[in-house]
Amino acid sequence: MAEGILKSLDSGLQVYSAGTKPASKINPFAIKVMSEIGIDITKQYPKNVEQFLKEPFDYVINVCDNARQTCPAFFGQVKHRLHYSIPDPVEFVGTEEEKLSFFRKVRDQIRVTFTELALSFTRKRESI
């Protein structure tokens, strides 16, 4: 969801999303709640963070505590590392409607957090 939200906020950003234990496909609840805000993530696919470890990045951003603890070290040049403590909605247990509600809550938290982050990127580019 974070990748879709960041790409929707600033098309000039190159965004790559990956996990330490990627699923085989995008979670259908994520697809549904993102489509509710007009963002199509159906062309995204889960990737393993290991494929990016030697790449240079301006930012490496962890969005959950588990990823922060289990994420391997990046060997490429990383200018900034950020961490946001956002719950992993996949781990939520409940009815289908409760899961959808929790995915929406997480989506909205990601959107607020990353909107502020994208605005800071825009301000930095404009000041150059």
For residue 13, what pLDDT band results from cuts at 50, 70 and 90?
confident
- What Cα–Cα distance (Å) separates residue 70 from each residue in 39, 64, 66, 85? 29, 10, 6, 14
- What would the CATH number be for the domain defined by 2-118? 3.40.50.2300
At 119 the pLDDT is 82
pLDDT tens column, 55-99: 999 888 888 766 556 666 677 788 988 889 899 999 999 999 999
* pTM of the full structure: 0.85
DSSP, collapsed to helix, strand or coil, labels residue 127 as: helix
